[in-house]
Amino acid sequence: MDPIRPVGQGAPSAEGAPSAGAAAELGDLLRRSSRGDQAAFAELYDATSRRAYGLAVRVVRDPAQAEEVTQEAYLEVWRIASRFDPARGSALSWLLTIVHRKAVDRVRSAEAATRRDQTYQQRNQPVDHDATAEAAEASLEAHRVRGALAHLTEVQREALELAYFGGYTHTEVATMLELPVGTAKTRIRDGLIRLRDAMGVGR
């Protein structure tokens, strides 16, 4: 496969969900890509890369990082295109899920690197008991949140990650997941309730 062209760095695309015809066309391009059709993959990239880059920017908050994430995601799409199942959702939703996962992984990797740097600095500085206690409490809270997220259903977790990690509004989450706004709000609300219960808040 030829190298992926850089994504044009502009404002993230604000396009809505594709029409039924456009969605079917994207699905066909993805199926052809799974058979090694580079021309089809190039068309798929041109048709979706602005949406993918826009999502990556919203999650990682850095244009250069977002471009890298987007290109990594398309390489993954090219590699696993045969796994796309139209019965489980649209081609665009499947592709953007990969982009979102890559973006979240990049954020978590950056956070881990930051924690390593902070740990190194803390080990090489005089111990401040108050600061150490605060850091331990923050680390414990983050661990509790990650553990609680595991108790959510996949659809609840996906909606919450888009709304709170990705910074999307309820309407944008609904568009990304191709759901009615009311359904997206319900998933987010139910996910928050389940997250609260899993963390023991209010007990």
Query: Could you tell me the sign of the dihedral formed by the alpha carbons of 188, 189, 192, 194, in that order?
Result: negative
* pLDDT recorded at residue 57: 95
In single-letter form, the type of residue at position 4 comes to I
* pLDDT recorded at residue 157: 77
Q: Do residues 161 and 192 touch, judged by C-beta distance below 8 A?
A: no
Q: How many CA atoms lie within 13 A of 82 on its CB side?
A: 5
C-alpha dist (Å) from residue 122 to 48, 112, 137, 142: 44, 15, 15, 19
The 3-class secondary structure across 142-192, one letter per residue, is HHHHHHHHCCCCHHHHHHHHHHHHCCCCHHHHHHHHCCCHHHHHHHHHHHH
Q: Do residues 95 and 48 touch, judged by C-beta distance below 8 A?
A: yes
Q: What domains does the chain contain, in order, with CATH numbers? A: 11-125 (1.10.1740.10), 129-203 (1.10.10.10)
* pLDDT recorded at residue 72: 95
With tokens 């331990």, the residue in question is 136
* pLDDT recorded at residue 119: 67
- Residue 58: closest CA among 7, 109, 104: 104
pLDDT tens, N- to C-terminus, the chain (203 residues): 554 555 544 434 435 556 667 888 999 999 999 999 999 999 999 999 999 999 999 999 999 999 999 999 999 999 999 999 999 999 999 999 999 999 999 999 878 766 676 666 666 665 454 554 455 555 555 556 666 677 778 877 787 777 766 777 888 888 888 888 888 888 888 877 777 776 665 54
d(CA 22, CA 124): 57
* pLDDT recorded at residue 67: 95
Global pTM exceeds 0.75: no
C-alpha dist (Å) from residue 114 to 104, 109, 120, 129: 15, 9, 10, 21
d(CA 37, CA 2): 11
